[in-house]
Amino acid sequence: MVLVLARDGKVWIIETVKYDHSIPLKAEPVLVEGVDHVKSMLVSTDYDEITFLKEDGTVWNIDDYNPWGSNKPLYDTIRFAKPVQLENLKDIVQLKNNHYAIKKDGTVWNWGRTTVFSKKSREVALTPVAPYQINEISDVVDVSSTLDHVFFVKKVGPQQVEFRS
C-alpha cells in the first residue's frame, strides 16, 4: 500500500503487492474520504492507523487496531474507517513518530496505545490513551523517540538548542 499526499492537501491510497510497492494491484488511486487540507501524515502499521496533521493545526486519526489479528488489509481500513479528530490537539505544528506532537507554543503532547514487551509476548492496550501534555517540558523544537527512549530538543536561545531525554 502506498499513501500519497497531494499538493492540494488531499490523500490518495494505492494498493500494491505486499512486498513490492512498485507493483500496483488496483488500476487507479482512491481518494481517502473525510480528510483534506492535510499538511503531513504518519503511518503506523503496528497498530493499523494513520495520523493526519491538517493545515489548521488539528490532528485526525484513522484507527482500526485489532489485537487478535485482522483479515482486513490496512488498505481497506483506510478506505472504510472514518477519521476522528483527536481532542486537545489544536495548534499542532509537527507530528512525530510514536504518537508525539509539538504545539505552536513548544509544548509536547502524546497519545495512543501503550505497548509492554516481555521475553514471551508483546501486549498492547486495547483502548488508546487520550492526548495529554507532557509536563515540565516546554520550548521544544523537535522530538525523536525509540521504543524505550525519547529525546527532546529545546530552544534555549537564538542560536542554541538543548537535548533532554
Domain ranges of the chain: 2-164
- Residue 126 is predicted with a pLDDT of 57
pTM for the structure as a whole: 0.78
Q: Mind listing the pLDDT tens digit for each residue in 99-127? A: 899 999 999 999 876 655 555 665 655 56
Tell me which residue of 50, 98, 49 sits closest to 70, measured CA to CA.
49
The CA-atom distances, in angstroms, between 23 and each of 5, 8, 11, 45, 78 are: 19, 25, 19, 19, 19
Mean pLDDT along residues 41-69: 79
Greater pLDDT, 154 or 109 = 109
Task: Give the mean pLDDT of 25-44.
Answer: 85
Report which of residues 44 and 30 the model is more confident about: 30
C-alpha separations of 165 from 21, 80, 136, 153 in Å: 36, 38, 12, 9
3-class SS of residue 78: helix
The architecture that CATH gives domain 2-164 is 7 Propeller (2.130)
For residues 57-73, give the mean pLDDT.
Answer: 71
What pLDDT, on the 0 to 100 scale, is given for residue 68? 46
Q: pLDDT class for 37, splitting at 50, 70, 90?
A: very high
Is pLDDT above 80 for 63? Answer: no
* pLDDT(21) > 70: no
Question: What does the alpha-carbon distance between residue 66 and residue 146 come to, in Å, rounded to a whole number?
Answer: 23
For the chain, the distance separating the N- and C-terminal CA atoms, rounded to the nearest angstrom, is 34
pLDDT value of residue 118:
53
Q: Which residue has the higher pLDDT, 96 or 70?
A: 96
